[in-house]
């Protein structure tokens, strides 16, 4: 009698083997997804195919009834009445959506546009120059690659990315590519300042003193990524960015006018319409952990599109690998725990959280579930 389970096992091992070598083949081109598009492929390689999309119920997409809140920050640092109104709206958004857009935030729109343009310039420059920056060494100050989790996930994303560590130590300008050197440093100054305001408001929204979150190190690390989503010939088979929650405390995102980001709200994927000049803010995992689930790190994703490229720039307030601060311990803030609100998570080292995030890749599950206290 033929042992069919054995044959199935062999077939599975074979697909696994093929996948690994196809991933390596793609990786070794150092040309990313843009390289595939430039070669005018009309089919996407199978390493990019997301089988789960074939099973998805498309009826729950793009509900226009509700939208991510837009908060006007005019007067936030000058007018106490405006500030308390803004704080209330921030609190509400963090509790219900985990996402909000800010207008009148003092980051010059010209700087935002130039930042997006610089990401485009990097990805569209001469491949030979670009290749020199291709790396998977996450301790580098600046690198470019396609899919940071290429070898961890079951399906790759239709996206290339530049990554840059901007704080706690500013990179030496020489380490940054000429096409985006100046604007990376300029943009990060504005993001740092807006981040400081945001962490004050978040502290106040939690009933803590304004400097609380800064004092425990939430603003120390800044990690920036610039995504380039090329046009995709078979968008229904893949994703630009898989369903995920963000690492770190808080993310500030700017995007061009193509659009595509979706937020999971009340079990529906809601489109976040591009609003020129707005900064999108979202709660990330460590903020959910320290607020003991008061603020929500919400799932989001970017479908692939037939049109492109689309560009976005995400700035994560978060420390990175190889920095002293990754030794810090975080747990739910004592002031937020009570008999009605018992502690949900244990205390963790940021390095344990980050290692887990990188090890599992973007697979739609929250790393936070690993840190829950046993009941």
Residues that bind ligand OGA (CB under 6 A): 225, 227, 241, 246, 253, 255, 261, 300, 302, 312, 314
The position carrying tokens 């929204």 is: 205
CB of 54 to ligand OGA, least distance (A): 23
What count of residues does the chain have? 375
Which C-beta is closer to ligand OGA: that of 246 or that of 326? 246
CB of 316 to Ni ion, least distance (A): 8
Parallel/antiparallel/unpaired status of strands 300-303 and 250-255: unpaired
How buried is residue 358: exposed, middle or buried, by Cβ count under 10 Å (0-12/13-18/19+)? middle
Stretch of 9-17, 22-30, 67-75, 238-246 lying at the interface with Ni ion (CB under 5 A): 238-246
Residue 261 contact among ligand OGA, Ni ion, none, beta carbon within 5 to 8 Å by kind = ligand OGA
Residue 227 contact among ligand OGA, Ni ion, none, beta carbon within 5 to 8 Å by kind = ligand OGA
Edge-first strand listing for the sheet containing 268-271: 239-244, 300-303, 262-265, 268-271
Which C-beta is closer to Ni ion: that of 179 or that of 264? 264
| Residue in the shown chain whose Cβ atom is closest to ligand OGA | 312
Which C-beta is closer to ligand OGA: that of 183 or that of 280? 280
Looking at residues 245 to 274 of the shown chain, list those that interact with Ni ion (rule: CB under 5 A). Answer: 246
In the chain, which ranges are continuous DSSP H helix? 4-29, 32-38, 80-96, 109-124, 127-131, 181-205, 212-215, 285-290, 350-360
CB of 9 to Ni ion, least distance (A): 36
Say how far apart CA 36 and CA 288 lie, in whole Å. Answer: 38
Structure tokens at 310: 């689309």
The position carrying tokens 């595939």 is: 36
Stretch of 8-16, 52-60, 149-157, 241-249 lying at the interface with Ni ion (CB under 5 A): 241-249
The most distant pair of C-alpha atoms in the chain lies apart, rounded to whole Å, by: 82
Residue 362 contact among Ni ion, ligand OGA, none, beta carbon within 5 to 8 Å by kind = none
CB of 166 to ligand OGA, least distance (A): 15
Indicate whether 323 belongs to the interface with Ni ion (CB under 5 A). no
Tell me how far CA of residue 169 lies from CA of 173, 232, 307, 319, in angstroms.
Answer: 12, 37, 37, 10
Phi, psi of 234 (to 5 degrees): -135, 65
Residue 255 contact among Ni ion, ligand OGA, none, beta carbon within 5 to 8 Å by kind = ligand OGA
* Total site size for Ni ion, rule CB under 5 A: 1
CB of 178 to Ni ion, least distance (A): 28
The position carrying tokens 């046009």 is: 231
CB of 250 to ligand OGA, least distance (A): 12
Residue 105 contact among Ni ion, ligand OGA, none, beta carbon within 5 to 8 Å by kind = none
Indicate whether 285 belongs to the interface with Ni ion (CB under 5 A). no
Say how far apart CA 281 and CA 252 lie, in whole Å. Answer: 5
The position carrying tokens 């195919």 is: 49
Stretch of 58-66, 242-250, 265-273, 362-370 lying at the interface with Ni ion (CB under 5 A): 242-250
Phi, psi of 243 (to 5 degrees): -50, 125
Q: Do the Cβ atoms of 29 and 217 come closer than 8 Å?
A: no
Residue 245 contact among Ni ion, ligand OGA, none, beta carbon within 5 to 8 Å by kind = none
Residues of this chain that interact with Ni ion (CB under 5 A) are: 246
């Amino acid at each position: 009698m033929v042992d069919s389970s054995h044959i199935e096992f062999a077939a599975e091992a074979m697909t696994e083997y093929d996948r690994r070598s196809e991933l390596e083949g793609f990786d070794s081109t150092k040309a990313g997804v843009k390289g595939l598009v430039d070669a005018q492929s009309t089919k996407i390689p199978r390493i990019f195919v997301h089988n789960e999309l074939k099973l998805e119920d498309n009826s729950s997409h793009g509900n226009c009834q509700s939208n991510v809140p837009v908060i006007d920050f005019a007067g936030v640092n000058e007018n106490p009445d405006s500030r308390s109104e803004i704080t209330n709206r921030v609190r509400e958004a963090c509790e219900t959506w985990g996402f909000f857009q800010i207008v009148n935030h003092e980051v010059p729109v010209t700087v935002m546009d130039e930042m997006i343009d610089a990401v485009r310039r990097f990805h569209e420059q001469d491949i030979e120059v670009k290749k020199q920056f291709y790396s998977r060494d996450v301790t580098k100050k600046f690198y470019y690659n396609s899919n940071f989790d290429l070898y961890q996930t079951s399906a790759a994303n239709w996206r290339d990315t530049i990554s840059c560590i901007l704080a706690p130590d500013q990179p030496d300008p020489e380490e940054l590519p000429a096409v985006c050197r100046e604007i990376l440093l300029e943009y990060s100054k504005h993001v740092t300042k807006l981040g400081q305001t945001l962490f004050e408001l978040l502290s106040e929204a939690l009933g803590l003193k304004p400097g609380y979150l800064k004092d425990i190190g939430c603003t120390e690390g800044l990690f920036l990524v610039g995504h380039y989503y090329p046009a995709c010939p078979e968008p229904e088979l893949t994703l630009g960015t898989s369903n995920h929650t963000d690492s770190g405390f808080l993310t500030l995102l700017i995007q061009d006018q193509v659009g595509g980001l979706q937020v999971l709200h009340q079990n529906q994927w809601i489109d976040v319409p591009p609003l020129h000049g707005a900064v999108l803010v979202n709660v990330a995992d460590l903020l959910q952990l320290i607020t003991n689930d008061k603020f929500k790190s919400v799932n989001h994703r970017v479908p692939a599109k037939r049109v492109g490229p689309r560009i976005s720039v995400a700035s994560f307030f978060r420390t990175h690998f190889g920095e002293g601060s990754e030794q810090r311990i975080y747990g739910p803030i004592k002031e937020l725990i009570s008999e009605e609100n018992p502690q949900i998570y244990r205390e963790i080292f940021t390095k344990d959280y980050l290692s887990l995030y990188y090890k599992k890749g973007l697979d739609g599950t929250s790393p936070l579930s690993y840190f829950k206290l046993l009941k």
